[in-house]
Amino acid sequence: MGKSRGPIAAKASAPAIVAAALLFAASAVAAGADPRDQVAALQQDSRTVALSDRLLVNIDAAVRYVFPSKCEAEGESELVALAYSSNLEESYVFVPALCLWIETGYGETRSTVLFDKAFFDEIVRQFDQLVVYHLHPGFHETIENYFPAFQDLITMTLIDAELVGRPAVHIEHRAVTPLSVIDYRLADTAGAMRLLKKYADLGLAGSAVQNLAYEYNRRGHVESYLRGVEACAERAALDPGGLDRCPQVRTDLFVLSIRRVRSPGQ
């Protein structure tokens, strides 16, 4: 019994440590701390941290924007409006406990945005509840183009797989289009964990996450996703405005839930 108490105590204390860090950060904001200072302390580079009262797409690699005092519904509404007007993709992390949005993208183009993973890793060390947003701008020729690219789902897999050992951490992933917000997640988290354990048992613990992503990127899984999106397009009668008739897409690896969000003024 003496040996068993050690690991159990360690597991119990980890969520408490995360919760304490979160409470400290929330208290600092409540006390009037400047969110620019908090975000700057997490950065691995020398970007200037700037404030904005509205979500925006930023192409200046020397600046990172934060958007304080903006809770989830308001932020999503602004992103839907931004998806109508933007010509570039962008990414953000939302911290629900603080109603704080942080820009996490760079190298923004019409069809891609790079995700600042090193910076995200620092954020997730401080907060155990986060939402990762990917802005899809508003020039989609077909209904299929309203959906995340398959590589977006692989990026999600890489992020979530690295956090398997931290059960207190909960990350959500969402794409925002001019018509909707699409939540996407793994369909079988337990199955992913079994594969990670299998790789570790084979002596591949150091590359287990990369091996999982490689497995999920196989052609059959890509085709399963494309079939799911095509089926959704058919249910929507090939009309993007008909996405309400397709509230969910389920493939062999992923589940996508689609919901309408009104932009400001609608």
Instruction: Please indicate, yes or no, if residue 124 is contained in any of the structural domains.
Output: yes
Total structural domains in the chain?
Answer: 1
Confidence of residue 200 (pLDDT cuts 50, 70, 90): very high
Answer with the residue of higher pLDDT: 179 or 227. 227
pLDDT of residue 215: 97
Instruction: Please indicate, yes or no, if residue 50 is contained in any of the structural domains.
Output: yes
Mean pLDDT over 170-191 rounds to 94
Instruction: Please indicate, yes or no, if residue 77 is contained in any of the structural domains.
Output: yes
Residue 79's domain spans which residues? 2-139
Instruction: Please indicate, yes or no, if residue 206 is contained in any of the structural domains.
Output: no
Q: Which distant-in-sequence residues (6+ apart) come within 8 Å of 244 by Cβ?
A: 236, 260
Residues 254/225, Cβ–Cβ less than 8 Å: yes
Distance CA(213)–CA(216), nearest Å, equals 5
Prediction pTM value: 0.85
Distance CA(231)–CA(18), nearest Å, equals 41
- At 211, which helix (H) or strand (E)? helix 208-216
Whether 14 shows a pLDDT value over 60: the answer reads no
Residues 221/186, Cβ–Cβ less than 8 Å: no
pLDDT of residue 264: 67
Confidence of residue 236 (pLDDT cuts 50, 70, 90): confident
Instruction: Please indicate, yes or no, if residue 216 is contained in any of the structural domains.
Output: no
Instruction: Please indicate, yes or no, if residue 218 is contained in any of the structural domains.
Output: no
Mean pLDDT over 131-152 rounds to 85
Instruction: Please indicate, yes or no, if residue 207 is contained in any of the structural domains.
Output: no
Lowest mean pLDDT among 158-172, 174-188, 238-252: 238-252
Confidence of residue 25 (pLDDT cuts 50, 70, 90): very low
Mean pLDDT over 127-138 rounds to 92
Instruction: Please indicate, yes or no, if residue 132 is contained in any of the structural domains.
Output: yes
**What is the overall mean pLDDT for the chain?**
85
